Amino acid sequence: MDEIRLGPMAEGDLARLVVLTGDPEALGEFQWFGWSSPGRFRREWAEDGLLGEERLMLAVRAGAGAGSASGVDSGTAGEFIGFVAARRAGARAVSRHWNIGVQLLPAARGRGIGTRAQQLLVEYLFAHSPVMRLEADTETGNLAEQRALEKCGFLREGVQRAAVFRAGEWRDVVRYGLLRTDPRPGL
């Protein structure tokens, strides 16, 4: 598997981020939800570097300089190949948790990079926030993402019926959860 790391989104990454999130072919069958504002990421990056209290996005990088001991650093060396994201969920402040996801460029898929990126995000969130729980959701047909989450230690908790509207129809999603105290397999 390629050596990868996570880091803050650099201004130079924004153009690739907009292309990735605005291209139905690049997003793949489970991620295209329609067009959105192409300026949104630039506005949010200018506001907080995409590292807000309620949501964050970290670049996934591969190649030269991408290897660090923890897999997370503040540099921008290496090629942008996608991103991981987390958003706060939960209604009450005392029970807030993160819901996570990953999106990679098509050329980076199928090699374990998404699994490793999510594992690094899990380690980062548990190290830098006091949350007890992380969640992830994926459509029932997205078997690759389900395998990746299970490799990161997430447990399948159930199916939510008609939870996502995409491509003209309501779709079921599988909810996964990981507690801080759950075992996390190494890759």
Altogether, the residues listed in the chain come to a count of: 187
Predicted local confidence at residue 79, as pLDDT: 92
Predicted pLDDT at 91: 73
**Whole-number pLDDT of residue 151:** 96
Cβ atoms of 119 and 178 within 8 Å: the answer is no
* Domains of the chain and CATH, by start: 4-179 (3.40.630.30)
pLDDT of residue 175: 98
Return the pLDDT at 148.
96
Provide the greatest CA pair distance for the chain: 44
* 144: its two tokens: 């690759």
Which pLDDT does position 149 carry in this prediction? 97
> What would the DSSP string read from start to end of the chain?
---EEEEEPPGGGHHHHHHHHH-HHHH-TTT------TTHHHHHHHHHTTB-SSEEEEEEEESTT---SSSB-S---SEEEEEEEEEEE-SSGGG-EEEEEEEE-GGGTTSSHHHHHHHHHHHHHHHHS--SEEEEEEETT-HHHHHHHHHTT-EEEEEEEEEEEETTEEEEEEEEEEETTS-----
Among left, alpha and beta (phi > 0; psi -120 to 50; other), residue 43 is: alpha
Per-residue pLDDT at 24? 80
Average pLDDT of each block of 10 consecutive residues along the chain (187 residues)?
Answer: 88 90 81 80 94 95 64 72 94 83 93 96 96 96 96 97 94 97 82
- Distance from C-alpha of 84 to C-alpha of 98, rounded to nearest angstrom: 12
Closest CA to 11 of 35, 33, 44: 44
Tokens coding 21: 């999130």
